[in-house]
Structure 1
Amino acid sequence: MSDASVDPTSLSLGELRALRARLQQEEDVVSFVRRIAQGRLDIVREERVRRGSGSHATAEPGALAAVFGQQQGAGSIRPPRDTDVSADHPRVVELTEICDRLHFADFADLDDGELTSLEAALSGFESAQSADRRDLFARIDALSRELVDRYKSGGATVDSLLD
C-alpha cells in the first residue's frame, strides 16, 4: 500500500508522526528543486524578452539580479526549514539532465527554436514539481488534521510527544 492510499486513522500515533515528517522532508526537496527550476525558467524567459525587444545586450549579473528580484507571489505560509538536498537526488538529477541536454549553460547562444525547447522542458518540469508539491501538501495536511483530532479527542496527549 502506498503512502498516498494510507488512511491516517489506521496509523498509530508514532506512524502518523513519522509519515508526516517524511512527507515534510520530501516536500522540502520538491520545493527546493522547484525553486531552482523556476529560477532557470525566469532566466530563459528573460532571454526571450530581451530577444523580442531587439536588444543585443547579453545576460550579465546585474540583469540576472533584476530577473530574480521580481516578486512572483506571497511565498509559502509554512515556516522555512533547513533543506539539505544532495546533487544526486533523483529530482536534482532530472533537472540537471534537462539543462545539460538542452544546453541551459549556453542559453544566450541558442537559436530561438532551441530556446523554446528549453523553456518548454523547464516549464514542464516545474509544473510537475508544483503538482507533486500540491499533492504532498494535501497529504501532510490530512495527517496534521488527524493529529489535531487525536489531541482534541484525547487519543494523543502532549506527554506522548516525549515518548
Structure 2
Amino acid sequence: MLPDLSLLSDDELSALLSRLESTEDAISRRRRLLHGRIDILRGERTARLRAQVAAGALDMPSPTTLERAIYTGSGDLPEEEGALGAMPDLAEVDDDALRAEIRRLEQEEDDISLNRRVLHGQIDIVRAERARRSRDGGHIGPDDLGPVLGGGR
C-alpha cells in the first residue's frame, strides 16, 4: 500500500520510487528464472509424452487433469527471493513429480506476476505524482487514478 503521496517531500517521493523500482527489478528477475525453469520442465514432460506415444504406451489422462485455472496462485509472495535451488536430476524424477513441480512453479509465477502488476501500478502512480508536481505543483487525486492506471486520458 502506498503512503499519502501528498505528504511526502520530493526526496521522499524519489526514494519511494527507487524502492518500488528495485523491488520490481528483483521480482522480474525471479519471474524470468521461473519462466526458464518451467520451460525446461515442460520440455522434459513433452519429450516423455512423445516417447510414450512413439512406444504406444501413452495413457490418456482425464481432460480435467489437463485443465489449469487462469490464476492458481495463493496471492502471497514466496518467502524465498534468491535462487530457485538446484534443478532436479530429471532422470530421477517420475512423471507425477515432474508434473507437480511444474504446477508448483506455475503457482509461484502466478503470485509473482500478480505482485508485479501491483508494483507497476504503484510505480505509475508515484511517477504521475512526480510529474504533476513538476508540471503545476499539484498532486494527483482519486479522479486521476483511472487515466494513470489505464494508460490514457
Smaller-chain TM-score bracket: 0.5 to 0.7
Q: Which runs of 5+ in 2 are unaligned?
A: 53-78, 139-153
Letter in 2 for 1:151: S
Q: Given the alignment, which residue of 104, 117, 140 partners 1:121?
A: 104
Q: Given the alignment, which residue of 129, 132, 141 partners 1:149?
A: 132
Q: Which runs of 5+ in 1 are unaligned?
A: 56-88, 156-163
Q: Deviations over 1:26-80 (max 9, x none)?
A: 111001111001100000011111111117xxxxxxxxxxxxxxxxxxxxxxxxx
| Aligned counterparts of 1:122 and 1:130: Cα–Cα separation in 2 | 12
Identity of aligned residues (%): 36
Matches within 5 A, 1:4-153: 4-54=1-51, 90-92=80-82, 95-96=84-85, 104-153=87-136
Higher relative contact order (Cα pairs below 8 Å, separated by 6+ residues): 1
Q: CA RMSD in A?
A: 2.1
Aligned residues: 113
| Aligned counterparts of 1:139 and 1:108: Cα–Cα separation in 2 | 44
> Shift of the alpha carbon at 1:126?
1.1
Letter in 2 for 1:51: R
Q: TM-score, normalised by structure 2?
A: 0.67
Runs of 4 or more above 6 Å deviation: none
Q: TM-score, normalised by structure 1?
A: 0.63
3-state secondary structure, aligned to 1:92: coil
| Aligned counterparts of 1:12 and 1:25: Cα–Cα separation in 2 | 20
| Aligned counterparts of 2:10 and 2:2: Cα–Cα separation in 1 | 17
Greater gyration radius: 2
Q: Deviations over 1:93-133 (max 9, x none)?
A: 5x33xxx5xxx321243111100111011111111111111
| Aligned counterparts of 1:135 and 1:50: Cα–Cα separation in 2 | 36
